[in-house]
Amino acid sequence: MSTPPRTPADLLRSALDQESGRPLVTFYDDATGERVELSVATFANWTAKTANLLQDELATEPGDRLALLLPAHWQTAVWLLACSSAGVVADMQGDPAGASLVVAGPESLEAARACGGERVALSLLPLGARFPERPEGFVDYAAEVPGQGDQFMPYVPVGPGDPFCVPPGGAPGGPAGRPAALTGGEAVDRALADAESLGLGPGSRVLSRRPYDSWDGLSAGLLAPLAVGGSVVLCRNSQHLDAAALGKRGEDERVTHTID
């Protein structure tokens, strides 16, 4: 009898065991025309490589806080699951000055310089390309992650009671001046509850236009579909799509639920 998934990383492992070839995250950027589709297996491989980068190259330890200054993007989703795998706390849009390390996109590089620890930069260019010129003071994620191992094993086991992420704005009950983190178990429970309220189940395909600027965005755009064996079509910069274009995308992608 298998153990029910109790952390976001467990959810991904469960999906990998059940149907590794199915789509998990399909990403559109309507400002660039980019479309990327990642199967469960491909997404899990990116996650393992990123977790190895965190643990081995960046020398993180469980409980370290990582300021994740990225928009709704397939690579952001990878970083969230890599943090869960390694026991690093993903502080979404958190203060870099108070973080052990920072991961930033091109629009957040200046803010990220406030971090005194390791700084990782993502170009967010199509196909996960490198920066044309590496930003000074940063590790270029696209240059470092390909050489990491395809399998990940944490040095210290990560359990459901360990902190996983700080949603934008924090979670209820945090100490004064420091946003609270959701544990991995709390995040899974909330994702399952969200999936039930949205009517999601195995095979559901969710088109989410929500940014990753709230728990609702993180849940609809990744965690709730993942929790129940569904998949997500994550749309960035889609605010100018008219109803016809959005409807056509939904048909092409076999979307079952659309969340604005």
Question: 53-57, 150-154, 166-170, 184-188 — which is least confidently predicted?
Answer: 166-170
Provide the pLDDT for residue 254: 96
Nearest Cα neighbor of 158 from 16, 12, 1, 33 is 12
Query: Which tens digit of pLDDT belongs to each residue from 221-244?
Result: 999 999 999 999 999 999 888 999
Q: Does residue 39 surpass a pLDDT of 80?
A: yes
- Percentage of the chain modeled with pLDDT above 90: 89
Residue ranges of domains in the chain, CATH in brackets: 8-259 (3.40.50.12780)
Provide the pLDDT for residue 168: 84
Provide the pLDDT for residue 1: 40
Query: Which tens digit of pLDDT belongs to each residue from 111-168?
Result: 999 999 999 999 999 988 999 999 999 999 999 999 999 999 999 999 999 999 999 8
Provide the pLDDT for residue 260: 87
Which tokens sit at 93? 């849009």
Provide the pLDDT for residue 182: 95
Interacting residues of 66 by C-beta distance below 8 A, sequence separation 6+: 54, 60, 79, 83, 88, 89, 90, 91, 99, 100, 101, 102, 103
